Amino acid sequence: MNYFIIDDDPAIRAMLTDMIEDEDLGNVVGEVEDGSLVDNGLLSLKKVDVVLIDLLMPIRDGIETIRALADGFQGKFVMISQVEAKELIGEAYSLGAEYYITKPLNQLEIVGILRKVNKRILLEQSIQGIQEALNLFTGHPHPPVSYPHTKNIKEAGRSLISDLGMIGERGNEDLLKILEFLQNEKQRLGSAYMFPPLKEIFADIAAEKLGEQAKEAEIQKEMKASEQRVRRALHQALIHIASLGLTDYTNPKFEAYSSTFFNFSEVRKKMLELEDKNEKTSNQSRINMKKFIQTMFMEARQLVE
């Protein structure tokens, strides 16, 4: 099973991830700190089966998030909260939540509940398979399942942004525009496509943002601002990946991203810096922006195709 965790407490997210993976309940394919950062496109792209969601969050709480996702999400919701207000819990159940996990977390309770959820999903899948086989046998085909959200390069980019711990950074929108620009160039040029210079990329997205009437000086100013926003987002991603490595060197995301999006020597340097918080060396880490964007584009295309 694929799990997605929505909780504003990083310690809770880490504990749930450890429990799920240690007990072989499935894989945690994504996590965010607020319901406002999730949509059905992201859940579809990640092929999520179960969403673990906190009821109380600062921007969009669990109730509003379930309400926003319920119509398009085919999986199961499991609530997590310290609050025991019957009205809130009752509303969450009425919107489609399956079970309720109380805080502080109890491993036996969580494992027991998630095993029940997994069994229910497998049973429903089995019943659906039998129904489809019967429909074929009787000559009454089952209507095809429709998916309301189509995968595209921006949705794939948001998925990677989530994995890289950059959610909330202003440079994320610039990165998504860059992915769209590269995708359009790839489609336009076909086999003649070559990765364009960074200056050309930033010039294009700046011109698109400002419109045809923009002056050259305005475009140049926006190019510099955009590049700075992206650099800050990339630095946040570096911190996130380095932190994963410090916590667990065998973390799948750390293994997958530390040497693809970055030069591993820089990741290692950041890990050493985070270990020694008193030593101010944050300016020593250098991120190869071209490599990062090239990798993000290739990874996003693989998710879409």
Residue 224 in any domain: the answer is: yes
Q: What is the CATH number of the domain that holds 45?
A: 3.40.50.2300
159 plus 291 within the same structural domain: yes
Give a three-class secondary structure readout of the chain. Answer: CEEEEECCCHHHHHHHHHHHHHCCCCEEEEEECCHHHCCHHHHHHHCCCEEEEECCCCCCCHHHHHHHHCCCCCCEEEEEECCCCHHHHHHHHHHCEEEEEECCCCHHHHHHHHHHHHHHHHHHHHHHHHHHHHHHHHCCCCCCCCCCCCCCHHHHHHHHHHHCCCCCCCHHHHHHHHHHHHHHHHHHHHHHCCCCCHHHHHHHHHHHHHCCCCCHHHHHHHHHHHHHHHHHHHHHHHHHHHHHHHHCCCCHHHHHHCCCCCCHHHHHHHHHHHHCCCCCCHHHCCCCHHHHHHHHHHHHHHHHC
Domain coverage including residue 275 = 153-304
Number of domains in the chain: 2
Same domain, 166 and 277: yes
Say whether both 195 and 295 belong to one domain: yes
Indicate whether 274 belongs to any domain: yes
126: in domain:
no
- 169 shares a domain with 36: no
Residues 293, 161, single domain; the answer is yes
Are 85 and 221 in a shared domain?
A: no
Q: Do 43 and 166 belong to one domain? A: no
The reply to whether 89 falls in a domain is yes
Shared domain check, 168 and 115: no
Is residue 139 included in any domain, yes or no? Answer: no
> Is residue 64 in some structural domain?
yes
Query: Are 171 and 272 contained in the same domain?
Result: yes
Residue 134 lies in a domain: no
- Does 54 lie in the same domain as 165? no
Q: What does pTM read for this prediction?
A: 0.57
pLDDT of the chain, 305 residues: tens digit per residue: 899 999 999 999 999 999 999 899 999 999 999 998 888 888 888 889 999 999 888 888 888 998 888 888 888 899 888 766 667 777 777 777 878 888 888 888 889 889 888 888 887 777 767 766 666 666 555 444 443 444 588 888 988 898 898 888 899 999 999 999 999 998 888 888 888 999 999 999 999 999 888 899 999 999 999 999 999 999 999 999 998 888 887 878 888 888 889 888 888 888 888 887 655 544 456 788 999 999 999 888 888 76
Are 172 and 109 contained in the same domain? no
Co-location of 165 and 249 in the same domain: yes
Q: Is residue 144 part of a domain?
A: no
